[in-house]
Amino acid sequence: MNRNPIPAPLTARVRTLLFHRRVLFGIPFAWLLLFFLLPFALILKISLTSAVMAIPPYEPVFRLAENTLSVVVNFGNYLFLLSDSLYVAAYWGSVKTALISTIACLLIGYPMAYAMARAPKHWQLVLLLLVMLPSWTSFLIRVYAWMGILGNQGLLNSLLLWLGLIDEPLKMLNTNFAVILGITYAYLPFMVLPIFTNLVKLDLRLLEAASDLGCRSITTFWAITLPLSKAGILAGCMLVFIPAVGEFVIPELLGGPDTLMIGKVLWEEFFNNRDWPVASALAIVMLALLLVPIVLFHRFQSREMSKNG
Amino acid sequence: MVNARGISFSKVMLILGLLFLYLPMFVLIVYSFNASRLVSVWAGFSTHWYSALFEDQQILSAVWMSLKIAFYSASMAMCLGTLCAFVITRFKRMRGRTLLSGMITAPLVMPEVITGLSLLLLFVQLAELTGWPADRGMVTIWIAHTTFCSAYVAVVVSARLQEVDRSIEEAAMDLGCTPLKTFFVVTLPVIAPALVSGWLLAFTLSLDDLVIASFVSGPGSTTLPMVVFSSVRMGVSPKINALATLIILTVSLVAFIAWYVMRRNEKRRRSGRLS
């Protein structure tokens, strides 16, 4: 009697199948491990070194001298960040700016997504393309467009002067207001998209049932629509808030000398001061601040990616 | 807010929101035809800035460089992202799956300065240890762009993969198709539209990236966003307005074609179902 119920060629086939699966899995895994995860370990490592005038401009952590491996760890960069009020202010400025912009995006984006989800089917695709189209053109150029509008001799000031609403140009460019406006403008499509995909899947029978039972439309919205679109709101807020905290281009082009944002500070430490260890420490602290939002976003996204499958 | 017809708050907000999105771009287009350098003065219609744009060798070579990088990055990201989406949606119990899905979603929101800095540090250390990459340039930008574009491709493709009818794949395999052949004959044709939109998305993202490319590029490899950035840092430049107009028109044209194809397919599918 054959004790093995599976014939040998079949187990061999299963084994090669499993091997192929592992190879398929291994390719993207190895790529992302090397080019995404490993670099973060390196940031951590460099943030613990001290800057020197050399190429590359930092001291090695592991030193091999006289056959003994010595590990030199320097927490000085982190202490330096804490001691200098500039950095603390920059972190606070980034979080505040990103938060205000996220709320502005939500207040504008939610009604937009709502109207899109309620529009007739053949309009939905057109509206979706219209909302997403700006984000497919150049980000840089869309930010730049506001420079021409907000400047002292820009379009908006000329218009207001011509209307006689103001007597002298308002200073709008190079202010924190311009930065918030710029972030709201640039990131608005990323708020609308997840909320729209969420609202469009909403079971309309729930709304009908509510109205049949005598619910007023505004109550139905607060009691049913809004709670059910929570996942979309969360995803949209994370898609705006997290990148906005580290934003460099917008504060650089639209912000002024008093605009303190951490992305800009990091850029200057790296490119102007060539202080790689301090730039790395700034990145690590930023990551630590963003860890909770990133994990929240990841939870939502991985649920989206493996829903039915 | 719920009344289906007539003017509602949300409809007004949609129109205002779209105006907010499009007015600044419209202003750029109008002023690219302004003969004057100043935004506040309209000095008559002129295409002078377009001819100036096409005479600018620095911009032209940067455009070519960016297009090449975007093409290679989008192509590689399409393969890598599709593979990622496939293994995440299909191999549910593979060890390391959680880590992989974390590594593929994180680039979607990771601030660019962090990604750029981390990759530069990697390339510097690799060069120290192995001698490669000897100098940073197109290849390093390609790797950086492929990595973050793959994340977007994976999102687009996995959404489509979830809609694939698994029973057709199973039928093909029951009839003796190898998994590889099943993928190419059954799965790929179904997810092909997502692959195309993923590729296009990756292409535009790569073409547009300033921050990451600035970190990982070396001398001699200047991409278009770098040229634009160093120019607009100085203030408003009419040549950039002309460039912006060309970019906006190209993207609009591609979006229109995409919309047209999608609408036609939808119609065909509907009529196919009726007959």
The DSSP string of B103-171 is HHHHHHHS-HHHHHHHHHHHHHHHHHHH--SSS-SHHHHHHHHHHHHHHHHHHHHHHHHTTS-HHHHHH
A263 touches chain B (CB under 8 A): yes
A297 and A150 within one domain: yes
Give A-chain residues touching B112 at CB under 8 angstroms: 243, 246, 248, 263
Band of the pLDDT at B5, cuts 50, 70, 90?
low
More confident of the two residues B86 and A57: B86
Whether A1 is covered by a domain: the verdict is: no
CB contact under 8 A, A136 and B22: no
Q: What pLDDT was estimated at residue A3?
A: 58
Q: Encode A33-80 in three state secondary structure.
A: HHHHHHHHHHHHHHHCCCECCCCCCECCCEEEECCEEEECCCCHHHHH
- Lowest mean pLDDT, pick from A90-94, B62-66, B95-99: B95-99
Alpha helices in B162-237 (DSSP H): 166-174, 179-182, 188-208, 211-216, 224-232
Q: Is the Cβ–Cβ distance between B197 and B207 less than 8 Å?
A: no
Last residue of one domain, picked from the residues A71, A90, A107? A71
Please name the residue of chain B whose CA is at the shortest distance from the CA of residue A239.
B109
Average pLDDT rounded to a whole number, residues B268-273 = 75
Q: How confident is the model at residue A309 (pLDDT cuts 50, 70, 90)?
A: very low
Give yes or no for a contact between B114 and A287, defined as CB atoms under 8 angstroms apart: yes
Residues A240 and A95 in one domain: yes
The answer to whether residue B275 scores a pLDDT higher than 60 is no
Same domain, A31 and A154: no
> Quick one: pLDDT band at residue B40, thresholds 50, 70, 90?
low
Name the residue range of residue A105's domain. Answer: 77-305
Tokens of A277: 């260890």
Q: Please say which residue of A25, A51, A71 terminates a domain.
A: A71
pLDDT given at position A31: 94
- In this structure, chain B runs to a length of 275
Mean pLDDT along residues B177-196: 88
Answer whether residue A147 is part of any domain. yes
Distance from CA of B272 to the nearest CA of A (A): 18
Q: Are residues A103 and A40 in the same domain?
A: no
**Model pLDDT for residues A192-221, shown as the tens digit of each residue:** 999 999 999 888 888 888 888 888 888 888
Distance between CA atoms of residues A280 and B229, nearest Å: 24
Whether residue A160 lies inside any domain: the answer is yes
The A residues from 159 to 188 touching B (CB cutoff 8 Å) are 185, 188
**Across all residues in chain A, what is the average pLDDT?**
88
Lowest-confidence segment of A2-11, A52-61, A270-279 by average pLDDT:
A2-11
Give the angle A108-A113-A114 at the CA atoms, nearest 5°.
100
The number of C-beta contacts closer than 8 angstroms across A and B is 296
Domain chopping of chain B, boundaries? 57-274
Chain A partners within 8 Å of B106 (Cβ): 36, 294, 298
Residue at A222 is within a domain: yes
Domain boundary among A17, A43, A71: A71
The percent of residues above 90 in pLDDT, for chain A, comes to 50
Of chain A, the percentage scoring pLDDT greater than 70 comes to 92
Reported ipTM: 0.89
Same structural domain, A41 and A183: no
Nearest to A139 by CA among B251, B19, B210: B210
Contacts of B211 (CB under 8 A, 6+ apart): A248, A249, A267, B112, B113, B116
Question: Among residues A85, A157, A28, A11, which one has the least CA distance to residue B80?
Answer: A28
Q: What per-residue confidence (pLDDT) applies to B80?
A: 96
Q: A263, A246 in Cβ contact below 8 A?
A: yes
Asked if residue A35 and residue A164 are part of one domain, the reply reads no
A140-195 pLDDT per residue, tens: 999 999 998 998 888 888 888 888 888 888 898 999 999 999 999 999 999 999 99
Which segment of A9-13, A66-70, A139-143, A229-233 scores lowest on mean pLDDT? A66-70
- Same-domain pairing of A26 and A45: yes
Average pLDDT of span B89-104: 87
How many domains, chain A?
Answer: 2
Considering the domain architecture, whether residues A170 and A231 belong to the same structural domain is answered as: yes
Same domain assignment for residues A82 and A66: no
> What's the pTM value of the predicted model, to 2 decimals?
0.90
Residue B144 pLDDT level (bands cut at 50, 70, 90): very high
DSSP per position, A72-119: ----HHHHHHHH-HHHHHHHHHHHHHHHHHHHHHHHHHHHHHHHHHHS
The per-residue pLDDT of chain B, averaged, comes to 88
A293: domain CATH number?
1.10.3720.10
Q: Is B88 on the interface with A (CB under 8 A)?
A: yes
Q: Is A37 on the interface with B (CB under 8 A)?
A: yes
Residue A68 Cα to chain centre, angstroms:
44
Indicate if the pLDDT at residue A83 is higher than 60. yes
pLDDT in the model for residue B1: 45
Q: Are B146 and B73 in contact (CB under 8 A)?
A: yes
The pLDDT of residue A66 is 66
Is the pLDDT confidence value at B3 over 80? Answer: no
Lowest average pLDDT, out of A13-27, A69-83, A182-196, B81-95, goes to A69-83
CATH number of the domain located at residue range(s) B57-274 in this protein = 1.10.3720.10
- Residue of B78, B91, B121 to mutate when probing chain A, most A C-beta within 10 A: B121
Which residue reads 């003065």 in tokens? B41
Q: Can you read off the two tokens belonging to residue A11?
A: 């187990």
State the Cα torsion B88-B89-B93-B99 to the nearest 10°: 20
- Asked whether residue A167 is domain-assigned, the answer is yes
pLDDT for position A211: 83
- Residues B25, A137: C-beta atoms closer than 8 Å: yes
Note whether A16 and A93 are same-domain residues: no
Q: What pLDDT is stored for residue A155 in this prediction?
A: 85
Q: Is residue A3 part of a domain?
A: no
Q: What is the pLDDT of residue B2?
A: 46
Which residue intervals of A119-138 are DSSP H helices? 121-136
The answer to whether residue A2 sits within a structural domain is: no
- Of A81-85, A257-261, B211-215, which has the strongest mean pLDDT? B211-215
From the CA of A77, how many Å to the nearest CA of chain B?
Answer: 16
* Secondary structure class of A255 (helix, strand, coil): coil
